[in-house]
Structure 1
């Protein structure tokens, strides 16, 4: 029988510092900028977000989410033979944040009297807000072809470090966090649990509409290492490509829109999320929404939303999940998963 990559555990982690819209408005008022809870909620659906503490890195958030996912799967760190981590806010230029996470998992395991995942392949994936879908696709492909048996797939971000707090239209949108899943190889005829299909794309002609145009050279930062976004352009592109990729993933798996039990979209903007659901004729009550409390956590948003829905008891074994995201690059993609 063919191999499939089954999600056997999920985990999520948010930094301790939580900022409401009112607190963000007060912060911006100190800079002479005006915004309000009503303004933010009306345009985005966001009511709060979490910011990492000074010195708290993407790998620290990833570690906590990963430990929770491993515990949910009933697995130990040394049983993982692949780590794929999606992030746009890595700990450093190199090595990959995945290898830093690997070290921290090893240290945590040793402290608990166990072993870490030393020797497991570890790599980062950079596709901004579509990063988790890309990472899931990579891990799924390696499991299906026998390149791995058990993978840890993580999305982790500290976007608060790259926000321009002189731009009220973007700084209120993003937050920090991490989400993770454990994928394990299973054999079945296609009717069982697992990643049934993925669909990923990019269009580099649109790199300028959502970017952080800075780099490091000669020990100095060149350009502007802060987030820039053309919100209207992103919205216009996102609505179209999200519907297309969702239908593509369904077609690859031989499924119809009516078969989907839960839509778990990238948590960027409630209007985009609901627009996609309506186009797919999915009831809005079947859309997992965490954007109101998390903000846009980029590559972490889909696994965070998935973990929230699993732990809340909404998602049940055997249900069909449609995951989808869109982000800078311009990237987009989807995954159809039998839980």
Structure 2
């Protein structure tokens, strides 16, 4: 059982071996806190409970009707497949499934049809990316349910995703990197964070786990956090001189991670994302983000003439299709110049 050191929080274990968390003040009924204690979902609920904004849990109401959508969700959350997912994937899947269950949880899965799913999708038309993510979560749920004979069909199969135009996270420019560096000098945690992202092409959940143990013989090695329990991707990169200098110039002695909070504790991925957002705002870069630096690395490598396989070795993308969004911002004129040189001397 996980150890929780938060005021008024207690735990128990359900029949599937899952740890459940409750908020309980003396003389009051307990309140269920969902999610992992490090997740934003849990922290939001905990703060609401402290403020008295959450109602006590009715355990009888927590037991969903047999064959209902909520019952399928509960079974899925307790399954080995769900437990093997990385924390970030669990978080977004559960967020979308719980949102559907809040309105349609008692409906029998046997009666759910594609038209119902389309209706749920269309109500999220103002946020098409979120609508498509909901479809992905639902499709995974029903596919799992069919495999274990908990439902007899997948109503999402014939429902199309919403089409929309989006360039995703902004790709950092060279000028924006310089502006950030001018605001956050060498020796600050902010500068070390930027350089870690820049010279590992890692995601925020990778950056917060990196520490002295990942560096040996002039190389930095780590397994990417995304899908590490299903399709692990091992990264093995030479330590760039700028990264080595930043690490040596930033006080990290005694810590297992390079990046620590002002309280000397390792960042959570969400906490780091919020803090990096603050650092960008301080530098006058509200449109920049941690993930945007990952895109910038892929883009700069493409502009420098790196092959897709070379870029994949740095970023860890497992297919060219997955890599495409990160390289589409590559300077087309630079690429055209290098391509045209190949024609020199040709008839």
Report TM bin, short chain.
under 0.3
Higher relative contact order (CA 8 A, sep 6+): 1
Greater helix proportion: 2
- TM-score w.r.t. the length of structure 1 is 0.26
* Bigger radius of gyration among the two: 2
